Structure 1
Amino acid sequence: MIAFANQPIPVILDTDGGVDDALALIMALNSPQLDLKAVTVVAGNVNVDLATNNVLRVLSIVEPEISPIVAKGCEKPLVRPPFNAAGIHGADGLGELDQFLEADGTPRYPKLAIEPSTENAIELLLKTAQEYGDSLIIIALGPLTNLATAIQKDGATMKKIGRIVIMGGAVTVPGNITAAAEFNFFVDPHAAQIVMESGIPLTLVGLDVTMKAPIARQVVEDNLQRRPSKVTQFIVDCTGMYMAFHRDNENFHGCYLHDPLAVAVAIDPSLVTTESLYMMVETEGRFTSGMSLGDRRDRRSEKTNPPNVEACLEVDTERFLQLFDQLV
Structure 2
Amino acid sequence: MASNSSFPVIIDTDPGIDDALALYLALSSPQLDIKGITLVFGNTSINHVTRNLVTLFDVIDKEIEYLKTASPPSQIDPNEWEKERKILLNRFEWSKPIVAIGVDKPIKALECLGIDFHGLDGFGQIHTTHPHYAPENWEGLKSNRYTKSSRNAIDEILYQLENSPPFTITIIGLGPLTNLALAYEKDKHTFSRVKQIICLGGAIACGNVTPCAEFNFFADPDAASILVESTKGFSLSENVQNKIERLNRKEVLPLHFTVLPIDVSSKVFLSSTVFTKYITSLNTPLSVFVSIFIDYAFKKTHEYLGAHGLELHDPLAIALAIDVLSNNSQMYTSKFVDMKVEYQGIYTRGMTIVDKRQEFSNDVDDELSQKAHEIWSTVNANNVELINSYNYESFISNFFKITFNVKYP
Do they fold alike, i.e. is TM over 0.5? yes
1:181-222 per-position Cα deviation (integer Å, ceiling 9, x unaligned): 000100100000001112210111111111110111112211
Q: Which of 160, 180, 193 pairs up with 2:225?
A: 193
Is 1:126 paired with 2:126?
no
Q: Which amino acid aligns with 1:27?
A: L
Instruction: Indicate if the aligned counterparts of 2:208 and 2:215 stay in contact, CA closer than 8 A.
Output: yes
Instruction: Indicate if the aligned counterparts of 1:14 and 1:139 stay in contact, CA closer than 8 A.
Output: yes
Q: SS in structure 2 opposite 1:237?
A: helix
Q: Which amino acid aligns with 2:176?
A: P
Whole-Å separation in 1 of the counterparts to 2:154 and 2:259: 22
Q: Which amino acid aligns with 1:312?
A: I
Q: 1:57 to 1:163 in 2, by over 3 A?
A: same
Q: Which of 253, 273, 285 pairs up with 2:308?
A: 253
Q: What is the aligned-residue RMSD (CA, Å)?
A: 1.8
Pairs within 5 Å for 1:174-253: 174-198=206-230, 199-225=254-280, 227-253=282-308
Q: CA deviation at 1:43?
A: 0.8
Whole-Å separation in 2 of the counterparts to 1:201 and 1:60: 35
Q: Name the % identity.
A: 37
Q: SS in structure 1 opposite 2:224?
A: helix
Cross-structure match for 2:247: none
Q: Which of 166, 173, 181 pairs up with 1:148?
A: 181
Cross-structure match for 2:39: 41
Moved more, 58-67 or 122-131: 58-67
TM-score by length of 2: 0.74
Q: Whose radius of gyration is greater, 1 or 2? A: 2
Q: 1:112 to 1:311 in 2, by over 3 A?
A: farther
The answer to which structure has the higher helix fraction is 2
TM-score by length of 1: 0.92
Q: 1:120 to 1:99 in 2, by over 3 A?
A: closer
Q: SS in structure 2 opposite 1:134?
A: coil
Q: SS in structure 2 opposite 1:200?
A: coil
Whole-Å separation in 1 of the counterparts to 2:214 and 2:259: 12
Pairs within 5 Å for 1:307-326: 307-326=382-401
Is 1:16 paired with 2:48?
no
Q: Which of 89, 93, 114 pairs up with 2:122?
A: 93
Instruction: Indicate if the aligned counterparts of 1:264 and 1:323 stay in contact, CA closer than 8 A.
Output: no
Pairs within 5 Å for 1:59-138: 59-63=57-61, 64-65=92-93, 66-100=95-129, 107-114=131-138, 115-116=140-141, 117=148, 118-132=150-164, 133-138=166-171
Pairs within 5 Å for 1:285-296: 285-296=345-356
The gaps in structure 1 that reach 5 residues or longer are 102-106
Q: Which amino acid aligns with 2:39?
A: V
Instruction: Indicate if the aligned counterparts of 1:62 and 1:231 stay in contact, CA closer than 8 A.
Output: yes
The gaps in structure 2 that reach 5 residues or longer are 62-91, 142-147, 231-253, 362-372, 404-409
Cross-structure match for 2:240: none
Instruction: Indicate if the aligned counterparts of 1:170 and 1:292 stay in contact, CA closer than 8 A.
Output: yes
Moved more, 207-216 or 264-273: 264-273
Q: CA deviation at 1:224?
A: 2.6
Q: Which amino acid aligns with 2:399?
A: F
Q: CA deviation at 1:135?
A: 1.2
Q: SS in structure 1 opposite 2:33?
A: strand
Q: Which amino acid aligns with 1:20?
A: D
Instruction: Indicate if the aligned counterparts of 2:58 and 2:135 stay in contact, CA closer than 8 A.
Output: no
Q: How many residues align?
A: 318
Instruction: Indicate if the aligned counterparts of 1:223 and 1:232 stay in contact, CA closer than 8 A.
Output: no
Cross-structure match for 1:162: 195
Q: CA deviation at 1:253?
A: 1.4
Whole-Å separation in 2 of the counterparts to 1:182 and 1:110: 30
Moved more, 214-223 or 177-186: 214-223
Whole-Å separation in 2 of the counterparts to 1:111 and 1:252: 34
